[in-house]
């Protein structure tokens, strides 16, 4: 049972444009969500998070949107840069439950120069 | 501040052997989680330790075990290795439970021949 889903395995975007990565979840107990970026041969790097009391969180070029009713979150990268090319994972956890993080399968973003 | 350190980075074993992987969390972090990453499967949660106690466990067979020491360092052991155990094993640490991002090491690449 995949509780966190990233339905797009890959995405290509032109440099300077917006990248939108999507993530859906099924467990309504999840209340903390994160995005990670992963380069080959390195561990995932934390990018940005959002708790369920918010619907938007911004950090520089990265913005995460949360739609609780749709159980959907998205990561916007504006403007996209070639260095953003990586695999992006979303993750979710329930802070009142088991504290474990459930990860999606990842989306490979390629930013074209 | 030193990040999460995993040793060794690469390991080659044969079927039937056992292996121990090590993880040193960021100083002050008490929660350590282990994940298995295989192509197309994302990060599969193995287990999480907090203050030397296993607090969460994923859906892996009993051949996978772990422990945490009083200094928060953690080890993961896999016995009777199978070909399907070939994967990148990632360790992540965080300060406490709740609204805390996990910080990952660069992983141990385990290859089973």
In this predicted structure, the answer to whether residue B1 has a pLDDT above a threshold of 80 is no
* DSSP element (H, E) containing B86: none
Which residues of chain A neighbour B43 with C-beta distances below 8 Å?
A: 44, 89, 91, 103
Confidence of residue B78 (pLDDT cuts 50, 70, 90): very high
Contact status of A45 with chain B (Cβ, < 8 Å): yes
Which residues of chain B neighbour A104 with C-beta distances below 8 Å?
A: 42
Mean pLDDT, residues B1-20 taken together: 93
Question: How much is the mean pLDDT over chain B?
Answer: 92
Confidence of residue B71 (pLDDT cuts 50, 70, 90): very high
Could you say which residues of chain A have pLDDT below 50? none
CA B99 to chain CA centroid, nearest Å: 21
- How far B111 CA lies from chain A's nearest CA (Å)? 14
Query: Burial level of B102, CB count in 10 A (0-12/13-18/19+)?
Result: buried
- How far B43 CA lies from chain A's nearest CA (Å)? 6
pLDDT score at A49: 95
Find residue B23's DSSP bridge partners. Answer: B6, B74
d(CA B58, CA B98): 18
pLDDT score at A98: 67
Q: What percentage of chain B has pLDDT greater than the value 70? A: 97
φ/ψ (deg, to 5) at B78 = -125, 125
d(CA A43, CA B104): 6
Residues in chain B: 113
Tokens for B99?
């609204």
Which residues of chain A neighbour B6 with C-beta distances below 8 Å?
A: 43
Indicate the SS3 state at residue A84: helix
pLDDT score at B98: 64
Best probe of the B interface among A40, A99, A104, by most B CBs < 10 A, is A99
Q: Which residue has the tokens 């990565």?
A: A21
Greater confidence, B43 or B22? Answer: B22
Confidence of residue B97 (pLDDT cuts 50, 70, 90): low
């Amino acid at each position: 049972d995949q509780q966190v889903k990233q339905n797009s395995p890959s995405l290509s975007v032109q440099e300077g444009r917006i990248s939108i990565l999507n993530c859906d979840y099924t467990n309504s107990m999840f209340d903390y969500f994160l995005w990670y970026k992963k380069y080959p041969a390195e561990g995932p790097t934390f990018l940005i998070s959002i708790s369920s009391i918010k619907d938007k969180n911004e950090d520089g070029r990265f913005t995460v949107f949360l739609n609780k009713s749709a159980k959907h979150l998205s990561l916007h990268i504006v403007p996209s840069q070639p260095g953003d090319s990586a695999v992006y994972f979303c993750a979710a956890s329930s802070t009142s439950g088991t504290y474990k993080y459930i990860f999606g399968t990842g989306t490979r973003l390629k930013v074209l120069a | 501040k030193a990040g999460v350190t995993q040793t060794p980075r690469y390991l080659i074993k044969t079927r039937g052997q056992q292996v121990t992987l090590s993880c040193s969390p960021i100083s002050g972090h008490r929660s350590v989680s282990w994940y298995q990453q295989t192509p197309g499967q994302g990060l599969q949660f193995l287990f999480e330790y907090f203050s030397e106690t296993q607090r969460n466990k994923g859906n892996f067979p009993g051949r996978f075990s772990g422990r945490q020491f009083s200094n928060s360092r953690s080890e993961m052991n896999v016995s009777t290795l199978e070909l399907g155990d070939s994967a990148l094993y990632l360790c992540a640490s965080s300060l406490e439970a709740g609204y805390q991002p996990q910080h990952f090491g660069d992983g141990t690449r385990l290859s089973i021949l």
